[in-house]
Structure 1
Amino acid sequence: MNDKKIKEQYELGAREFVGINLVGVDLSNTCLNEINLSGSNLMGAKLNNVEFCKANLSGVQLIAASAIQSNFKETDFSKADLSGATFVDSNLVESNLSEATLVGINLSMSNLSKADLTKVNLKGCSLLLGTILVGANLSGANLSGVVLSGSNLTGANLNGANLSEANLNGANLSEANLSDANLRGAKLDNTNFQGANLTGTKGLD
């Protein structure tokens, strides 16, 4: 199925496009709110300036996809593979990214406030410049070696998260839950921990 057929069927009221092959598809500048593409292959897809609010993208392959200045508010990305994808300056507020693979993803300038990032794998990610994670759930996430310098994680849940060797210089972690988190080897210059829960946090000695 190609982009033209999807747009035509969507305009006719179709919302179910489960498990289809959309490798390299260009859906930029389209409104596809509440579409169900779960289990589909969108490797290398172009999703720039799209409206995908409340869409179902669970289990989707979005490896090396491009989604610049797009709106994914309340979208389900659970267990999706977004390795190497570019989600710059996009809205992911209240999205579900639980258990998603985000290795090498670029989330610079994107808003993930109140997003569910439970058990995500962001190991070694250095492309989170200006990412907003206020109130996000990152419990059990692998954030080892991640660069979060200057990021806003106010009120975020980082319970049991692995932040070893992460760069948190200048990050705002006020009111965050860091209980049982691993901060061994992390860079913490000018990091704001005001009001944070540091019960059982490792690496702050």
Structure 2
Amino acid sequence: MSLNSTTPAAGAHTVADATLAREDVQQLLGATQQPLRFEDCDFEGADLSRLDLRGAEFQRCNIVETSFFGAALTQTRWLRCRARQADFASADLVDAAFQSSDLNNTNWRRAKLASASYHGCKLTGAYFEECSTLGLTFVESLLIGAHLRGFSFRKATLQELDFSDADLAGADFREAIFEGGSLKDANVKGARFDGADLRLADLSGVRLVDAGLFRGATISHQQAAVLVTELGLRVL
């Protein structure tokens, strides 16, 4: 392990420009009681499963195909990280924050995501199943083709979220407000939209598998024409 390690006045123990394996991280955890801050570090393919990294910060790090399975990651911060195919399954990510990060094709199965946030992230193909999500927020993020079955977005304000081709079967959007974004070609079978405001969302390609799917939702005249067209009817 070749690294530049410092302990700034702010209290975090900073590691910069290092390539780190599991043994290196364990050594760092054993050497300090302070939260760790990783800057421009490379963890690609590393097995960091079940490690206690509570309060750690990851800035501009490469965590492609890294395993955080079952890890303690509460109050962690992730900024501009590259995390394609990283595994966060069963990890504790309560109050974690991800910003401007590539999280495409990541696995979050059974993760604890209460009060976690994703802002400006790429989550194409991300797999969320059996997660605890109370207070979870997504802002200006790509969720194209993501697996979000049964997710609750009830009463949430959804800012520029792209759910194109996502699996939203059984999701709860009751009283949600869509500020832009897209549901294009999404699977919304069994989803609830009662009281939702969908006027700013792209609804093209939505399949009306249930005639009452959008009962009680607010849509624009233009969207109504699109949905009627999906039913094979002509609007003259």
Fold-level match, TM-score > 0.5? yes
Could you list the runs of 5+ residues in structure 2 that have no partner in the other structure? 1-12, 23-41, 232-236
1:102 and 1:12 mapped to 2: Cα distance? 27
Root-mean-square deviation (Å): 2.6
Q: What percentage of aligned pairs have identical amino acids?
A: 22
1:18 Cα deviation from its structure 2 partner? 1.8
Could you tell me the TM-score, scaled by structure 1's length? 0.82
Aligned-partner residue type, residue 15 of structure 1: A
Query: Is the Cα contact below 8 Å between 1:103 and 1:122 reproduced in 2?
Result: no
Aligned partner of 1:73 in structure 2 is 104
Cα deviation code 1:39-59 (max 9, x no counterpart):
222111101111110011112
Task: Kindly report which structure 2 residues correspond to 1:6-155, keeping only aligned pairs within 5 A, or say none.
Answer: 8-9=20-21, 15-126=46-157, 128-155=158-185
- Structure 1 residue 92: Cα displacement: 0.5
SS of the residue aligned with 1:192? helix
Aligned letter for 1:85? A
Whichever residue aligns with residue 70 of structure 2, its letter is G
SS in 1 for 2:138: coil
Deviation at 1:102, TM superposition (A): 3.5
How far does the alpha carbon of each residue in 1:51-82 deviate from its partner, in whole angstroms, 9 at most, with x for none? Answer: 11001111222222111100001101122232
The structure-2 alpha-carbon separation of the partners of 1:187 and 1:81, relative to structure 1 and needing over 3 Å to count, comes to farther
Structure number, greater radius of gyration: 2
Alignment of 1:149-168 (within 5 A): 149-168=179-198
1:178–1:105: structure 2 CA closer, same or farther, 3 Å change rule? farther
Is residue 187 of structure 1 aligned with residue 222 of structure 2?
no
- Judged with a 3 Å threshold, the aligned counterparts in structure 2 of structure 1 residues 20 and 3 are, in CA distance, closer, same or farther, namely farther
CA contact (8 A) 1:81 1:102 kept: yes
The one-letter code of the counterpart of 1:167 is: D
For 2:20, give the aligned amino acid: E
- Note if contact 1:71-1:92 (Cα within 8 Å) is conserved in structure 2: yes
Residues 94/13 of structure 1: CA separation in 2 closer, same or farther (3 Å cut): closer
1:169 aligns with 2:179: no
Give the AA of the match of 2:203.
L
Q: 1:12 to 1:19 in 2, by over 3 A?
A: closer
TM-score after normalising by structure 2: 0.72
Residues 89 and 61 of structure 1: CA distance in aligned 2, closer, same or farther (over 3 Å): same
More helix per residue: 2
Q: Which runs of 5+ in 1 are unaligned?
A: 199-205
